[in-house]
Copies of this chain bind each other. A is one copy, B any other.
Amino acid sequence: MTAVVWCNGTLVAQLLSLDPTDRGLLLGDGLFETLAVFNHMPIWQRDHLARLAAGAALLGIDCDLSLIESAVASVLGEAAHPHGILRITLTRGPGVRGLAADGKSPSLLVTLAPWSAGTLFTPVKLTTSPIRRNETSPASRLKTLSYADNILAAREAAAAGGDDALFLNGKGEIAATTIANLFILRNGRLATPPESAGILPGIARKTLMALTDAEERPIAPADLLQADAVFLTNSLRLVRPVHALDGTALNRDDAAVARVFEKLCQSIAEESGIDPRKADAL
């Protein structure tokens, strides 16, 4: 698997060089973003960088957006293929001991991995995780490097034959999956949990909300069973219909979900000049 890697000012051939006290490695102390790249264009980049900067401000990590944009340009300039998966990782950098430390010398890692269209619109079987999403923590609304809960839930779902795990929050409301936001369709109306439910406010979610009249409201597990359709969004897989929850088939309306998918594909085509569904054909 070829990849382009930029770390702290340098394009990296194989292994990257890291300070042994880097807080990203030692404490999951940092943030990341993953962006689809089509025709050399990082999709919805402005929204991704705005989310990164807001999270960094909350965590007290310096975030130099012009440096990040320049690193992204360096990486994309080295790309052997017009499409890919871009990841931006910002850590608090090397630190003294002590959890409350500031982040005045952050580390920045930007990587580009190959694009794979394999999971666009593929249906999903969800299993409900016994782990609750911790909506009492600001981290539940940030894309931090601290992914232990998501990893544990994803491994448990995979072991049970599911494709992803569904998190409820501490109040028993629907939050999100380990890698995606959730929407329901009922009587022609879209709804998705609000940020206060303990969700990462996804960029595909945000884009879709701007293109539709989707409402943010608390969603109960029973709402999933009563919905006409349930689907997931994220920046790489875009839209995937949910066909089953904990072994029970859900109502499905793949045609309606496909129309939602179409909206995101059009948004990407406007930005990059190519429809993601045709990206592998290049």
| Residues in chain A within 8 A of chain B (CB atoms) | 1, 3, 5, 7, 12, 15-22, 24-29, 32, 59-60, 85, 87, 89, 91, 96-100, 109, 111, 113, 130-132, 134, 136-139, 142, 144-152, 154-155, 157-158, 170, 178-179
Contacts and interface: CB of A to CB of B under 8 A. Distances in A.
A29 B151 contact: yes
A17 B32 CA distance: 21
B138 A132 contact: no
Nearest to A22: B25
Nearest to A134: B134
B148 A29 contact: yes
Contact of A170 (B26, B32, B170): B170
A154 B100 contact: yes
Contact of A7 (B20, B152, B154): B20
Nearest to A17: B15
B139 A26 contact: no
B137 A149 contact: yes
Given A59-B152, A100-B157, A20 B145 contact: no
A24 to B, nearest CB: 5
B142 A131 contact: no
A100 B137 contact: no
Contacts of A27: 28, 145, 147, 150-151
A29 B130 contact: no
Contacts of A97: 85, 113
Contact of A99 (B87, B100, B151): B151
A142 B151 CA distance: 13
A137 B131 contact: yes
A60 to B, nearest CB: 6
Which of the listed residues A85, A148, A152 has the most CB atoms from chain B within 10 Å of its own CB?
A148
A139 B134 contact: no
A212 to B, nearest CB: 28
B100 A147 contact: no
Given A15-B18, A16-B17, A18-B18, A152 B170 contact: no
Nearest to A159: B100
Contacts of A25: 18, 22, 24-25, 89, 91, 109, 145
